[in-house]
Amino acid sequence: MVKHIKKVLVTGGAGFIGSHLVDRLMAEGNDVVVYDNLSLGKKEFIAPHFGNPKFAFVEADLLEVGKLTKAMKGRDVVFHLAANSNIIKSSKNPDIDLEQGTAATYNVLQAMRETGVGKLVFTSSNVVYGEATVSPTAENYGPLLPISFYGASKLACEAVISAYVHNFGIQAWMYRFGNIVGKRPTHGVVLDFYEKLKKDPSVLPVLGDGKQSKPYIEVHDCVDGMLFGLVHAHEPLNLFNLGTTGGVFVRDIADIVIAEMGLKNVEVRFAGGVRGWPGDVHTVRLDVSKLKSLGWKPKYPTSLEAFSAGAKDILADLKMKHS
């Protein structure tokens, strides 16, 4: 669908979503530079592209401005995916999101100014909405009051990007993601449940009350949606929810993982409380009609379909690794 975007820089390109985006960009003949500090990403995710003359990998942090600017020279589009996506980890250390989220995004924008790169695709998150009082929540909802440091950082990044668009002529596409599921996760609920059940297949401890419910999107649909918006939306600043309809309850996730692992008589033990951790939004539903109005159609249109497909892929890979 998206052929020859030309020369691309992908920050966080060795991560979960980033590596799938890189696969797609490389398959369509683009020249790709991956910039990643490997704090969450893994070289093995992008290893198939090593040796390709249209691919380069820079192991560096976005706080290293000189390296970032050098890597960005000659690029046409920046896909900025790098961030600390482990919300539980940063809930105890706000510095992580300030540095790896907000400051890192500022450095990306400054490097774009210096090198003359005019297009930015940014991965935001549904957590910028906080505990929205309107559900499903559309892009024009407000006020935006995130309750996690990760969400606060993403909202700050959106604000800075908006200012750069209006002051320096950069064109941007910002996507507020639902939860992403599919092969190569570096963390997340499926991986967490799998590891707990491998240690003790008789009991599964679960944070919260099990009634937490979030929208999910399969990782290939996520990549497709990002690229679709890039091609079909032409405003100076383009903002979209990227997800599916409905949501999936944590208690149902537990049942799906247990069934896929072939386990029986597992006690699912809920810790209680309405949140899984500080900053966890209990219930999220996204209005995804804006991107669909441009003609985008995900392969898995509902959250349950998306989660089931993605979880099956994750668990199949994990079974192979441990067989």
Domain closes at, from 242, 259, 294: 242
Please indicate, yes or no, whether residues 81 and 191 belong to a single structural domain of this protein.
Answer: no
Cα of 187 vs its chain's centroid, Å: 12
Q: How does DSSP classify residue 237?
A: E
Residues 237 and 261 placed together within one structural domain of the fold: no
Say which CATH number the domain at 49 has: 3.40.50.720
Rounded to an integer, what distance in angstroms lies between the CA atom of residue 32 and that of residue 6?
A: 8
Residues 194 and 137 in one domain: no
Positive or negative torsion for Cα 278, 146, 286, 90? negative
The verdict on 141 and 187 lying in the same domain is no
| Nearest residue to 313 (alpha-carbon basis) of 230, 232, 256 | 256
CB distance 4 to 27 below 8 Å: no
| Contact of 106 with 62, CB cutoff 8 Å | no
In this prediction, residue 212 carries a pLDDT of 95
Q: Are residues 141 and 198 in the same domain?
A: no
Q: What is the pLDDT of residue 122?
A: 98
70 in the same domain as 56: yes
Residue 2 forms part of a structural domain = no
Instruction: Say if CB 26 and CB 2 are below 8 A apart.
Output: no
Catalytic residue among 35, 129, 150, 300: 150
Q: What is the distance between the alpha carbons of residues 19 and 10, in angstroms, rounded to a whole number?
A: 9
Q: Which two tokens stand for residue 104?
A: 């890192």
Which stretches in the chain have pLDDT values below 70? Answer: 1-4, 89-91, 323
Where in 31-102 does DSSP place strands (E)?
31-36, 55-59, 77-80
Query: pLDDT (tens digit, 9 = 90+) per residue, 47-72?
Result: 999 999 999 999 999 999 999 999 99
Q: Is 150 a catalytic residue?
A: yes
Q: Are residues 151 and 263 in the same domain?
A: no
Looking at the structure, tell me whether residues 149 and 169 fall in a common domain: yes
What pLDDT does 86 receive? 72
Q: Is residue 1 part of a domain?
A: no
Residue 42 shares a structural domain with residue 98: yes
CATH number at 315 reads: 3.90.25.10
Q: Are residues 70 and 47 in the same domain?
A: yes
Rounded to two decimals, the pTM is 0.95
250 and 237 assigned to the same domain: no
Residue 1's nearest CA partner among 229, 174, 238, 217 is: 229
Q: Is there a single domain that holds both residue 131 and residue 174? A: yes
Residue 27 lies in a domain: yes
* Among the listed residues 19, 72, 78, 80, the one whose alpha carbon sits nearest the alpha carbon of residue 48: 19
Residue 1: its pLDDT value, please? 47
Tell whether 13 is covered by a domain: yes
Per-residue pLDDT at 2 = 55
Structure tokens at 84: 């600390």
Total domains, the chain? 2
Question: Measuring CA to CA, which residue among 211, 230, 194, 220 is closest to residue 306?
Answer: 220
The answer to whether residue 175 sits within a structural domain is yes
Supply the pLDDT for residue 277: 82
Q: Domain for residue 106, yes or no?
A: yes
Looking at residue 285, what is its pLDDT? Answer: 98
Q: Which domain range does residue 191 map to?
A: 181-214+246-321
Classify residue 67: in a domain, yes or no: yes
